[in-house]
A and B are shown apart, each in its own frame.
Chain A
Amino acid sequence: MRPTTPLHRPHPHESARLHVTGGALYVDELPEARNARIGLIVPAGVAHGRVVRIERSRAESAPGIDAVLLASDIPGEALIGPIAHDEPVLAGDEVRYAGQPIALIVGESLEACRDAAGLMRFEIEELPATLSIAAAIAEESFFGDPHIIRRGDVEAALESAQTRVEGELSTPAQDHFYLETQAALALPLEAGGWQIFSSSQNPTEVQQLVARTLGVGRHRVVCDVPRMGGAFGGKESQGALFACLAAIGAARIGRPVKLRLTRREDMAMTGPRHPFWSTYEAGFDRDGLIQAFKVATYADGGFSLDLSPAILSRALFHLDNSYYIPTLRFEGRICRTHKPSTTAFRGFGGPQGMAVIEDAINRFAERTGRDPTSVRVRNFYGEAPRDRAPYHQRIPEPRLSRIHSELSADAEVESRASEIAVFNAGSLHVKRALAFQPVKFGIAFTNRILNQAGALVHVYRDGTVQVNHGGTEMGQGLHTKMQVVCADELGIPLDNVRVMRTSTGKVPNTTPTAASSGSDLNGQAIADACAKLRARLGPVAAGMMGRACDEDLCFEGDRIATTDAERSVPFHEVAMQAWLERVSLSATGYYATPGISYDIEAGRGCPFFYFAYGGAFVEVALDGRTGRHRLLRVDILHDVGNSLVPSIDRGQIEGGFLQGVGWLTCEERIESPDGRVVTLGPSTYKIPAAGDAPRELRIRLLDRAGESRTIGGSKAVGEPPFMLALGVVTALRQAVAAFDGRTASEVELRLPATPESLLRAIETRAG
């Protein structure tokens, strides 16, 4: 490592000072937003219905109201969507979920708009609604064909297995609960141009869909993303609707319009993580090795396709988690229901897939009285032939065994296991348990096209630098990492590098910041741009030092030096000299991930660039009187390659883990029988609070873990740690079983494992 490089060192978030002083601006607060009119979306209020009549004249003439727009007022295409265009910007003839926008009111204040909304009259003939996975299956209400992955004769292998475990598992929806709700601002410019500000992970898609909705070329629309107050996948596709609505409102009145949803609106209008319902049969041999795994899984896709096919794919790709499965058949389908369209959420189907095999292993261990950790470790991927994923990609160097053994020592597993046994023997109403959870997570967009990125780097004559890249900042620290990468590549101080807000006008045709790939892709693109700049600045510097123009130089410590360190010139002097010599100080960079392919018909291919690994030991205490539990101690060992910025990666691991805990234990999205979301705010929808975090959390980054072919030898970190939280479920199941001590008996635990669910699990076993 070079002495002055900021790479592989801890840094605060690049906006941290702005965050703590209130100076960080989000879409709703930008200077451009200050004179904007306000948009209010009116939801349809019924889950499925035919629109008979909409009366808007009284609302239109209400005080402070500029316009009331309906579907018929959309200037361009009325339908949007990330894959299929099947989402109306405003409901037209048919309403397909209760929160669906049906009218847009634009006025001088939110209050005026709310008053006007009360004056709208809707006549909607209610139609039968499909409101669950079970109902969709019964009605054969699906999107597309099943996705099938298979290897060998699964029926025969199940037949000959020593132990056969059957089960079904429902994994719950999860609201993103980003602290900043969806927001957008649309400004009409001169000559038919548009400036859009969007709280979106995917400004290119916003640009594209706004252009489509307005019926103009994409060159007329620029979309900027200042920063997001959290996204977690919820703003990958679903921010676009609100940008389109702001744009049609602004187009109608010829003035800027901004929208920021209230929490209630956000939770009613936008979709959560896909609930999945799966049935499975798993066969194990006498050594506890998985012989066969047959899974049928159904995802509730909601009313529109959104990103569901990709999410279903990733779920199927992670049904193996960390375990080699010789014979298998995985089949998945997407259900079409009358609910908000479910969407991307950290893990993107991965957690839902992994939960199934973890459930199978838990049941196997419970039924046979085996130690669940040993069963897991025994089934890890390993040497050939145990190195082939279900989709036939080779798993080159599984770091699972190493993680398990190092973490077992870190976490003092042996001594704690005996302490727990002693504790449980002496405690009637509180039981403890310790469980291990491994994670293997495939990195890359499974859609090959998305694995590309661009960057634009400007060097100014004073030696300072602006970096533009296609990624967006949602709190994950991408901009911090990109600032570090750029400073490292040019050998200049971190403070001299400014990461600009994301803009489709700077870097076009970008990929969403998703799939944990933000720094992998954009880091490489920035490195590419910096390499071009070095190639141009090198000869200039060499000339200044009286050296040959093709001499190798070292960019280090804000200077450009000869490799023998005999001569050097300050970076800023070289920048000035380059300008004087009419050498370009601006470069684009580009990157496309190599070697990714997948044949969905055959269920075979190499959908991933590499795999990220992690492991966790989780200790819980469960109160048998109330069903409440506590996370006593969690030890995590995670493989992030050579961390670009370790402090940022630790933050991702810790935050991702607790978000997973929320999904599995306390976050319960409840809907009314007629399909409306009941839990519309934090008073009823409970994400983890500070007291739910583990009492003791120890995170270590795996050392000697550098990955070849990635930026700085690093690995993606956004999503993988989320799934470590599955260990909480295993631990809770063990704690439930500890109340009666019966072995060879399965635990029935519904997810999320709320106090009610846990108490029921304890009482069910008690009979």
Chain B
Amino acid sequence: MSCIRFHLNGKTVEESRARPSITLLDYLRVHLGLYGTKEGCAEGDCGACTVVIGDPGAPGGPVYRAVNSCLLLLGEAHGRHVITVEGLAEGEVLHPVQEALVRHGGSQCGYCTPGVVMSLFEAAHRADFDRPWKLADQISGNLCRCTGYGPIRDAAKEVAGCQPPDRYAVLLSDGPAGPGESFRYTGEGQEFVRPRRLEDLWDALDSDARCAVAGGTTDLVLDAKQPARTIGRLVSLSGIEELRGVEKGERRWSIGAMTPLAELEEAAEEGLPMLASMLRYFGSRQIKNLGTVGGNLCTASPVGDLAPCFLALGASVILASRGGRREISIDRFFTGYRETALQPREIVASVAVPVPRENEIGAAFKVCKRRELDIATVSAAFLIELGNEGKISGARIAFGGMAATPSRAPSVEATLLGSEPSSASFAAAAAAIDSDFEPIGDHRGSASYRGALARNLVLEFGDSIEMRGGEAK
């Protein structure tokens, strides 16, 4: 009989009965009676449940990633190191991040605090806080209703990148490394399969069980129409190394479907700044650590943040199935409201993104009710090419939140083609929005607001080009 085996605060936990789709949060609280990790929303939006996953396999020592335990399937914990708020202090001696929070007055009611502690734990072990926004991003996924955040920000500033003594480092270095071999588990009649190699995936998908493919599970766990508990077999892609990672070619990048958004963000900073700027406001650090590129595309939300960027960049999607691979343009990937070109038993393997050329200028924008950790009202991505006479010789412009799928704006593009990159041209292009879209109104914004935003973002992009004097970089 198989069992889920993982390290929790350095001790081995073995579970052979629980359903693999229960969340790690429920498992910690209900099954293990570990109440330090809190449930504030159970939809990945408050961060009270934040725990840290230690990845021993990373070069240069372990990497710690804060994630929402309310979005993580128990099955996915197999073979991993989980650290919770209970695992930080040693006896009476607080961990430096705990000590900093106490000293700065970072807790009032204390309910969000365990999640804040774990976000700061990740921050303490990160070494890439080279810009102030990264620290803001680190704590954007932890809602606090009491403090007004100042004390939390101060504590974060103090501990970020401090590389504190790490008693888990040794353990991680000789514990089970990452997902390990292919893993198969059944609990309460539900199957969890995590193949190691792509060729092992097809068998798992071919069965007729009610089956779901799991990427980062940030959406899967929340699906009200098909609750995770009703799924017969969960097939996780997280063990398949070949689906993960960013290969930066000179002309084209290949982005593995299972690349966490945080990894893509890091990679994109050098080479695809437009993608990086969208990922900055994609979601919280915890979500970006868990959510994947492929998952964001396959969920096919009309407001998915990556899609407008990929549409503007002219990306292709590489689909894989037992029969082999095929490449289709991102323009043909979204086929309807939450529908894609994926065939049954086919997955997204990677996304191929052409690197903008010297004479191309791109930018991405996202507008929502709240700046951080919010779903877009409207998002937009632009890529224009400047021809020899300084005129616009190519334009790929895409919007999220304006239609049933993330979509290009053909009239806007057509209006720009052949014109000077001047404010007059962009004003004319903005006016063309109405021919391309008839947005709907919902709780994120009225139809007229969406229209106004889309027009204004075209103008904003135009301004940004004017400010560069119409020159590509």
Contact = CB atoms under 8 A, between A and B. Distances in A.
Interface string B47-58: 010000000000
Given A686-B374, A692-B371, A763-B452, A22 B105 contact: no
Contacts of A26: 111
A477 B374 CA distance: 31
B136 interface: yes
B372 A230 contact: no
B449 A756 contact: yes
B466 to A, nearest CB: 11
Contact of A20 (B44, B113, B446): B113
Given A263-B41, A691-B140, A755 B148 contact: no
B259 interface: no
A693 B149 contact: yes
B43 A263 contact: yes
Contact of B145 (A650, A659, A693): A659
26 contacts: A12-B102, A18-B110, A20-B89, A22-B35, A22-B37, A23-B36, A176-B145, A475-B107, A475-B110, A477-B108, A626-B367, A626-B453, A628-B371, A647-B105, A654-B147, A655-B148, A682-B43, A683-B44, A686-B369, A688-B149, A689-B140, A690-B153, A691-B140, A691-B371, A691-B372, A759-B453
Contacts of A103: none
Contacts, number: 223
Contacts of A760: 449
A22 B86 contact: yes
Interface in A139-187: 176-181
Interface in B304-349: none
B428 to A, nearest CB: 17
Interface in A1-59: 12-13, 15-26, 28-29, 34
B410 interface: no
Contacts of B444: 684
Contacts of B44: 683
B31 to A, nearest CB: 11
Interface in A686-706: 686-693, 697
Nearest to B22: A111
Given A25-B35, A666-B369, A475 B40 contact: no
B43 A657 contact: no
B117 interface: yes
Contacts of A18: 110
Interface of B: 29-30, 33-38, 40-46, 48, 84-86, 88-89, 94, 98, 101-103, 105-114, 117, 136, 139-140, 142-153, 229, 367-375, 377, 443-446, 449, 452-453, 456-457, 459-460, 463
Contacts of B94: 17, 20-21
A300 interface: no
B146 A475 contact: yes
Given A179-B145, A227-B110, A658-B149, A12 B140 contact: no
A647 B444 CA distance: 38
A692 B42 CA distance: 22
Contacts of A558: none
Contacts of A476: 108
The 7 closest A-B pairs by CB, nearest first: A22-B36, A475-B109, A229-B111, A19-B110, A654-B148, A475-B108, A682-B45
Given A20-B102, A690-B142, A678 B147 contact: no
Interface of A: 12-13, 15-26, 28-29, 34, 109, 111, 176-181, 227-232, 262-263, 429, 474-477, 625-626, 628, 647-648, 650-651, 654-659, 666, 668, 670, 678-679, 681-684, 686-693, 697, 754-756, 759-760, 763
Given A21-B94, A690-B149, A666 B105 contact: no
B47 to A, nearest CB: 9
A759 B449 contact: yes
A658 B40 contact: no
A18 B85 CA distance: 11
A634 to B, nearest CB: 10
A625 B117 contact: no
Q: Per DSSP, are chain B's interface residues mostly helix, strand or loop, or mixed?
A: loop
A625 B89 contact: no
A418 to B, nearest CB: 26
Contacts of B149: 658, 688-690, 693
Nearest to A110: B30
Contact of B445 (A34, A659, A756): A756
A53 to B, nearest CB: 27
A693 B367 contact: no
A651 B114 contact: no
A16 to B, nearest CB: 4
Given A18-B110, A476-B108, A230 B367 contact: no
B46 A20 contact: no
Q: Per DSSP, are chain A's interface residues mostly helix, strand or loop, or mixed?
A: loop
Contacts of A679: 443
Contacts of B377: 755-756
Contacts of A25: 35
Nearest to B371: A691
Contact of A625 (B144, B372, B446, B459): B459
Most chain A Cβ neighbours within 10 Å, of B46, B109, B370: B109
A229 B375 contact: no
Contacts of B86: 21-22
A381 to B, nearest CB: 28
B109 A474 contact: yes
A755 B143 contact: no
Given A22-B85, A759-B452, A681 B41 contact: yes
Nearest to A672: B443
A24 B145 contact: no
Nearest to A654: B148
Most chain B Cβ neighbours within 10 Å, of A180, A476, A763: A180
B335 to A, nearest CB: 26
A658 B94 CA distance: 29
Contacts of A229: 38, 109-111
Contacts of A13: 105, 107-108, 110
Nearest to A661: B148
Contacts of B41: 263, 681-683
